[in-house]
Structure 1
Amino acid sequence: MPIELFTAETQDGRLHLRFSGSLDRETAAASWEAAHRAVQRAGAVTLDASGVTHLDAGGASLLVSLAGAEGEWNEPADPAARGALARFRTGLENAKPSVPPPRRFRPIGALGAYTLGFLNRFGQRLDFLGETVITTAKLVPRPWKLRGAEMLRHLDEAGTRAFPLCMLLGLLIGVILAFQSSVPMRQFGATIFIPQLVGISLTRELGPLLAGVILAGRTGSAYAAELGTMRVNEEVDALETMGLDPTAWLVIPRIIASTLVMPALAMVMNVMGLIGMGIVMATLGFPPVAVLNQLQQWLSVGDLVGGLGKAAAFGLAIGYVGCVAGLSAGRGPRAVGDAATSAVVGGIVSLVVLDGIFAILFFRLGW
């Protein structure tokens, strides 16, 4: 069993601890409790380690814990033991966490930094928009340079695979709108006008808007995650090194695909919503002929064309926002997740803004 390699003497009210011999991990563990108990009882302590002939990290930790890392005491006379103690002190100093300076609350400076950052990001997005427009204009007279296989892949991922979700959501929205509108309509004996209300709401507003939310959640985030991963893996830089335009190879096919699939998704949403509304009307005692007559009477081609045009604009904005978020991703481990989040939030915000612009435009045009 290891023995305690120290002696404790009290002279003139001061405790003198003397260590000698080999002070390694085992002997330090055996002496740890007794040495610290003696130091706690004493008021002043003098530590003498000149007699230590061997020292490792365990023994050095015992000496430093008794006298302190900056304490003045008799260090080991043996050069090897003194060097081990110096290395332990250096490692202990380097392990201390750096204390950051206190942050001052400067609202004017914070507001200025945020404004400059916002203007910088806005300028980068304008640069990307101009580059995209120029690249698209260059591809118009040379459409064979467009990656057709890549665009078909994005059409399948953004459009075909989103049909089941759009069908389910459209059916539920039609049922909900019909049931909710039947409550006040029944009070005035106007239940027959439910197809008019639901049809116009779906074709002009809810169909394109909900399809845009689905596209932003599925496709916009996928664009940002895929392009962000390529940015982190330096694949975009590799394309530029090989003399290939990343905008033409990566951005244009995705934006075209999202623009083309949005009217189809909105149409699926409209049809399924009208089917759900027809089911509710059947439960209320109205035959399908009466529902179809109401739709033919109140719905026009302009309502459908206006909604599908809005859907195409929504798809263009969602594809653009997703590509911008992916290509502007950082290099850290959270870059891809931040890019996907930015794409979804930016896509939904752009939907709302564009929808408000179209509402004002249609009102001014009397459409």
Structure 2
Amino acid sequence: MRDEAEEEPGFARDGDRLALHGALTTERIGDLWNPMLKAARGVAVVDLSRVSALDTSGAALVLAAGGEAARLEGAAQGVLAVLERARDALAAPRPRPPAPPLPFIAALGAWAVGRLRVARDGLGFLGEALVLSLAVLRHPRRLRIGDLLRHLDEAGLRAFPLTLLLGTLIGVILAFQSSASLRTFGAEIYIPALVGVTLTRELGPLIAAVILSGRTGSAYAAELGTMTVNEEVDALRVMGIEPVAMLVLPRLIAGMLVMPVLTLLMNLSGMLGMGFIMWTLGYPVPLVTTQLQQWVTLGTLGGGLIKAAVFGLVIAGIGCRAGLSAGRGPRAVGDAATAAVVGGIVATVLLDGIFAVLFFRMAW
């Protein structure tokens, strides 16, 4: 709050002497800045005996007015302390100015080089994880079973309620939407076949992958990103402990194992939701189960579970990689979690397209 008892700031020049008075504070010196600097040209002494208050802005004005040659006189102890702090701050090295923007071709090249470095680091992480996985196969005691069980519980068991809920809703939605279209052709009897094949081959693994990416992939990235920011990962390396073996492998194995289970739950709950809609439409349960047995083959179910295992491995790997490559700033953990979710979903969709082409060629 402005103190009305303080004297308004001002200055007066007498020969080579500039006398300042009043409260030289931020809220009062705005209109005084340029006139004072003009009046202070060539002065030898700056008299501060009548300065009643001084803050950082006022100290910067006094030092600018005095320049390098002028002598400061008459300042009170508090005013001198503020001036000394301001002088030290102004003498400190200035931050480096931002680099000028690159030309278009150079910026494009820098972007390409950055992408190549990211790909190289990703391949290095993949190779390291593969080598350590083979080492664990030879020496199973290197795998931390306690950590593996904890990640199985967090990624799998705790995701069961959400998976069952989403699976049931997806089955209900698919059955309703299918019945609206197939009723025109009198083909509502094929709703179980349509929903069953769609769930087991495509939607079951995909939605389970989205759940795993949103829940587990982001959690892996946040947890490992926090450890990276707190330099705990560096401490493990200093102690001779390989972070990939200790932190990554249990998460990779857990992600690969829980995804087929989540996919099965998604498929079963979706078929239950579809069966409920078929029952409300007047179709008996034996008819629905017969359609499912006829159209949902072991190959269809097995193909979906294979995709699910690959999806789980990739999502867990992307989450761990995002966490270990987190930066050091305050946004590092959030950026790592975002990168894990986005990367996991994009990688899942790309892999699903590859599997679709592969299964088509194999007539699976």
TM (normalized to structure 1)?
Answer: 0.82
Displacement after TM superposition at 1:129 (Å)? 0.8
Give % identity. Answer: 52
Note if 1:194 corresponds to 2:219: no
Which is worse superposed, 57-66 or 179-188?
57-66
Provide the residue aligned with 1:131 in structure 2. 128
Provide the residue aligned with 1:246 in structure 2. 243
Provide the residue aligned with 1:302 in structure 2. 299
| Count of aligned pairs | 353
Residue pair 2:13, 2:19 contacting (<8 A) in 1 also = no
Provide the residue aligned with 1:172 in structure 2. 169
Residue pair 2:225, 2:336 contacting (<8 A) in 1 also = yes
Aligned residue among 335, 340, 353 for 1:338:
335
Matches within 5 A, 1:1-367: 19=19, 23=21, 27-28=22-23, 53=49, 58=54, 69=65, 87=84, 90=87, 93=90, 100=97, 103-104=100-101, 106-367=103-364
Aligned-residue CA RMSD (Å)? 3.8
1-side partners of 2:55 and 2:343: how far apart? 60
Larger-Rg structure: 1
Cα gap change, 1:55/1:142 in structure 2, threshold over 3 Å: closer, same or farther?
A: same
1-side partners of 2:163 and 2:320: how far apart? 23
SS at match of 2:120: helix
Residue pair 1:225, 1:340 contacting (<8 A) in 2 also = yes
Residue pair 1:196, 1:299 contacting (<8 A) in 2 also = yes
Which one-letter code corresponds to 1:215 in the other structure? L
Which one-letter code corresponds to 2:338 in the other structure? T
1-side partners of 2:118 and 2:198: how far apart? 36
Displacement after TM superposition at 1:360 (Å)? 0.4
Residue pair 2:40, 2:65 contacting (<8 A) in 1 also = no
Cα gap change, 1:100/1:292 in structure 2, threshold over 3 Å: closer, same or farther?
A: same
Gaps of 5+ in 1: none
Displacement after TM superposition at 1:58 (Å)? 2.6
SS at match of 1:128: helix
Displacement after TM superposition at 1:190 (Å)? 0.4
2-side partners of 1:339 and 1:113: how far apart? 22
Which is worse superposed, 160-169 or 237-246?
237-246
Displacement after TM superposition at 1:3 (Å)? 7.3
Which one-letter code corresponds to 2:135 in the other structure? K
2-side partners of 1:59 and 1:151: how far apart? 59
How far does the alpha carbon of each residue in 1:124-167 deviate from its partner, in whole angstroms, 9 at most, with x for none?
Answer: 11111111111111111221221111100000000000000000
SS at match of 1:140: helix
2-side partners of 1:179 and 1:60: how far apart? 70
How far does the alpha carbon of each residue in 1:72-127 deviate from its partner, in whole angstroms, 9 at most, with x for none?
Answer: 99865669999889748736856998794683451111111111011011111111
Which is worse superposed, 348-357 or 73-82?
73-82
Displacement after TM superposition at 1:230 (Å)? 1.2
Cα gap change, 1:51/1:210 in structure 2, threshold over 3 Å: closer, same or farther?
A: closer
Which one-letter code corresponds to 1:357 in the other structure? I
How far does the alpha carbon of each residue in 1:187-221 deviate from its partner, in whole angstroms, 9 at most, with x for none?
Answer: 00001101010000000000000000000011011
2-side partners of 1:224 and 1:2: how far apart? 56
Which one-letter code corresponds to 1:128 in the other structure? F
1-side partners of 2:294 and 2:55: how far apart? 95
Displacement after TM superposition at 1:4 (Å)? 8.3
Residue pair 1:5, 1:19 contacting (<8 A) in 2 also = no
Displacement after TM superposition at 1:269 (Å)? 0.3
Cα gap change, 1:2/1:326 in structure 2, threshold over 3 Å: closer, same or farther?
A: closer
Residue pair 1:57, 1:88 contacting (<8 A) in 2 also = no
Displacement after TM superposition at 1:175 (Å)? 0.5
2-side partners of 1:267 and 1:59: how far apart? 69
Which one-letter code corresponds to 1:325 in the other structure? A
